Structure 1
Amino acid sequence: MRIAFLTAPEGVEQVGLTEPWQAAKDAGHEPVLVSTQSGEIQAFNHLDKADTFPVQEVVGETSAGDFGGLVLPGGVANPDFLRMDEKAVAFVRDFFDRGLPVAAICHAPWTLIEADVVRGRVLTSWPSLRTDLRNAGGTWVDEQVQVCDHAPSKLVTSRKPDDLKAFCQTFLEVFAAESRQAA
């Protein structure tokens, strides 16, 4: 399965990108780095610049239909940039409209709020997003990983980098189950 990893040109938390990416590869999937601009993205270790990664596809030149699922890595700046980009927000919403599974960690649910896909869902995030998610109509829980089966798309969320092992295991299980159902 091709899995889109959507990031802004800068600000993604490196470990929130690289660990799920490697987990997807190890499970036999094809992770694809999608961004709002071509070239490279700049990852961060909290507030310090880390590595750069090549963009493989650009929002607006691809669609959710080209993928089996979407991963939204965290970092504070990454979702803040994404939610200000209309094409990125539309790309995220398209996964929900098509009933494709989505996984988001840390601050990434900010992008979900902007895509207006939180209402009626139970999810978790970095604790500072709690009020934002509730104001958007979601139910926030303080759990390592949360799976919401609210139709049409399954949504996997986690709070922080310490939750990455559970996040990766869970999103891979959910994506695989959704792929089997679609087949």
Structure 2
Amino acid sequence: MPISTANVLIITQNWGIEETEMTRPLRELREAGAAVTLAALTADPVETVQHDRFEGETVTPDATYDAVSADDYDLLVVPGGTTNVDRLRVNPAAIALAQAFAKAGKPIAAICHGPWLLVNAGLLPGKTLTSCRYIAADLENAGGSHVDEQVHVDDANGWRLITSRKPDDLDAFIGAIKETLGE
């Protein structure tokens, strides 16, 4: 599939998202021709942070994630940010979305703390992935195998998982997403 026909969904809470882990995929995938929807918990502005501490950019979401369906998208992106994913991973609608993508054999891309959502969604047994070092034990306790790599792509269990560790890995992360989408 050419990237110009791809539909990508990015899901976040409304606060605490690591700025570049959301804004770079959002903008770079749009610039490459993909239709990208930013879905948040509510329709209120999404307030990002830098390094979990400093105020970042504010972005208006396109939808709420309880109002979107995996059926309408080709790939799911889960940005990091400690507070963002700590709340995202306990939200039933976010968990259901991740599960629906995996069940449909659609790729999921998660960076930094993003894979925490996959722990609560029960999607890690048999998967190899990377993340920030702070959640490595959580991923392994959930049945995944953690590796320390800039980007890791795993196709086990009938669906692709693209993961990266931190903002410094965004070039490789976005590159792997674009490659998966056919660029």
Q: What is residue 180 of structure 1 aligned with on the other side?
A: none
Mapped contact 1:35–1:58 kept (Cα < 8 A): yes
Q: What is residue 31 of structure 2 aligned with on the other side?
A: 26
SS in 2 for 1:52: strand
Matched, 1:81 2:103: no
SS in 1 for 2:158: coil
Distance 2:84 2:180 in 1: 24
Distance 2:85 2:39 in 1: 13
Mapped contact 2:164–2:173 kept (Cα < 8 A): yes
Give the alignment of 1:82-97 within 5 angstroms.
82-97=88-103
Give the alignment of 1:1-183 within 5 angstroms.
1-46=6-51, 47-176=53-182
| Cα root mean square deviation, aligned | 1.1
Distance 1:105 1:155 in 2: 11
Distance 1:9 1:132 in 2: 24
Runs of 4+ aligned residues of structure 1 deviating over 3 Å after TM superposition are: none
Distance 1:10 1:175 in 2: 28
Amino acid in the other structure paired with 2:148: D
Amino acid in the other structure paired with 1:138: G
Where does the alignment leave 5 or more consecutive residues of structure 1 unmatched?
178-183
Distance 2:65 2:175 in 1: 27
Equivalenced residue count is 177
Distance 2:170 2:117 in 1: 19
What's the offset of the Cα at 1:175?
2.6
SS in 2 for 1:28: coil
TM-score by length of 2: 0.93
Where does the alignment leave 5 or more consecutive residues of structure 2 unmatched?
1-5
Cα deviations by residue, 1:153-172 (Å, 9 ceiling, x for unpaired): 10100000110001110111
SS in 1 for 2:157: coil
How much identity, in percent, do the aligned residues show? Answer: 37
TM-score by length of 1: 0.93
